Amino acid sequence: MATPPARTPDYRTAAKTIDHSLLRPELTLQEVADGCALAARYDVASVCVRPADVPLAVEALAGTDVAVGSVIAFPHGSTLTSVKVAEARALVEAGATELDMVVNIGWLRSGLVDRVRDEIAAVVAAADGHLVKVILENAYLDHDQKVAAYRAVEEAGADYVKTSTGFAPGGATLEDVALMRATVSERVKVKCAGGVRTLDALLEMREAGADRSGATATAAILDEYERRFGR
């Protein structure tokens, strides 16, 4: 068994970096329940489930230290602001404590940054103190659009900037995570998603500045940690 490098987190810290993703549209309810059981077994930070699955996840994870999260305007971000606000309220009422919202990507690419900021602020208000993570879908944005978006997220009062949905042509990159971390203040945390499938990828993203990583390969990642470094 290897000794972890000096900057490698301990097992629990590594596990609490992961939001276990259960968002694929074809998942059965049994597969969602099994995914929640896996998340509890590995004691990750949260599950991120489809909106209709929030009550199931809340029941499955009662009494654990795993939060229940869900998504707003996923994966395209183009619903009306009023619908995003209604989704946020409904998800909180159903028991979700973490909300991952997709921004209106077309607005961002059109230069309507103030409109994007105001929409995020409306969702933050509707979330009523629960965590809001804002998905920018970096694969569709140029450098200046990314920086403007990250700043808008912070101005709107959200808790996290997030790289991607995992359903676009590209996912998380180390460069984007580093740019996010360099752009927002320490108050705002960074989440990466899309392509984090190995322990090495998880650790590299964390080193670049990610506080959370969305993952479907949770078991493989944490089993590899235990094989290398123990618990």
- Active-site position among 53, 100, 159, 176: 100
> Per the structure block, which two tokens stand in for 10?
């301990």
Tokens 């209106």 label which residue? 104
- Active-site position among 84, 133, 189, 191: 191
Q: Are 92 and 130 in contact (CB under 8 A)?
A: yes
In terms of Cα–Cα distance, which of 146, 220, 201 is closest to 176?
146
> Per the structure block, which two tokens stand in for 14?
């590594």
Q: Cα–Cα distance between 86 and 39 in angstroms, integer?
A: 28
84 is catalytic: no
191 is catalytic: yes
133 is catalytic: no
- Active-site position among 162, 176, 189, 211: 162
Count of CB atoms situated within 10 Å of the CB of 125: 15
Give me the sign of the Cα torsion angle 97, 98, 102, 108.
positive
Would you name the residues annotated as active-site residues? 100, 162, 191
